[in-house]
Structure 1
Amino acid sequence: MADLLHSDQRDLSVDQELALRTAAVRLAGEFIGLYGPETIERFLHTSYDQFATAHTIPNYLPLLAERFARQRLQALARVEGHHRDGKPVVLFLCTHNAGRSQMALGFFTAFAGDRAVAWSGGSEPGAQVNPAAIAAMTERGIDITGEYPKPWTDEIVRAADVVITMGCGDACPIFPGTRYENWDVDDPAGLPPEQVRPIRDDLERRIRVLLDQLAIPAN
């Protein structure tokens, strides 16, 4: 873990160092036979850096880094053909990954269950998921409090079968062979609950149409 824990970009506490070491061990166990310690540490290293400047609660950084590194490694395994479960992968992208893409992810995950894989990301990730979006989804019985804003990476986009973009414009990545859809959905940032609900309902309708197109029965 030398490369991970002795970077000029980090000023880690003892607890953070221990948490990152433990995360590396867990990830190595999960991806044994696929990726070695160097790859695990590199993904954990770069994932930590993605959050170190955006999040102000240092004790959460190792956990966020581990979760994001795991998702990235899962995506890489799909890109490289190591993971073939036949499930479609859908990626929801917006600017801050705090409102629209998180609500879309919440609906898709709730409706598709384990019949598909869904991720989300942002071109300029915010510090937290929009509380108004969380409240609106709670009204639908869907809990997105465990989600967090994150960027996208090449392997995540390349692993997706369908990429849904919402407001990220030219910043949204384009790779040949991937199906792209741009949804014209208002940004709920700064809006009161009564204005967020129509956005939520619009996303729910769009998700149901997408599930039909992918031949995925909704829960």
Structure 2
Amino acid sequence: MKPQDIRTFFAALAADRPDPQTELDFVNDYTLLVAVVLSAQATDVGVNKATAKLFETVRDPAAMVALGEDGLRQHIRTIGLFNSKAKNVIALSEILLARHGGRVPRTRGELEALPGVGRKTANVVLNEAFGDPTLAVDTHVFRVSNRTGLATGKTVEAVEKKLMKVVPDDYMMGAHHWLILHGRHLCKARKPECFRCPVAELCAFNAKSTRR
């Protein structure tokens, strides 16, 4: 896409969703971090169901460590990979207490050093919790970026680097939210709903359909 088309692209997404928000439920920076770790290979809806009761009482690393791995498993057993995720959440909580005063660190290096935290999770936390202009590339963002021609690449990191170069500065903070929500609700993997897409005219996808 040309620079002006990219600006029009994000302006259309912004008009469609003026206040894009993560669909994960959380109450503070720590519960956001836990929710994003749990969301790997799981749906936000599934994670929210699992954490609804958990976050009523467990809202900081100390409470999580006190709950323990077995106790956490009971809350998240409906989520995929719950055994390894429970282990990671307890381990990262212990590290937060030992090295960071119980607080979520605000640098990428410190975040990615935590068990279960990769680049995508770090980007989400940096953007959502600390207001950094980062782009979290998940399966939805990867698909939308490649399908539309916004930022093509064979790897998640390649797409992220291109997005960081082409997304206008004034749309950067909400960019990954708009792309995630667009991919989740309209530009779906199997049946993209091009007939009601606000950016269909700018899209490079060659199988666009106007049929309902």
TM-score interval (norm. to shorter)? under 0.3
1 or 2, which has the higher helix percentage? 2
Q: TM-score, structure 2 length as denominator?
A: 0.27
Say which structure is richer in strand: 1
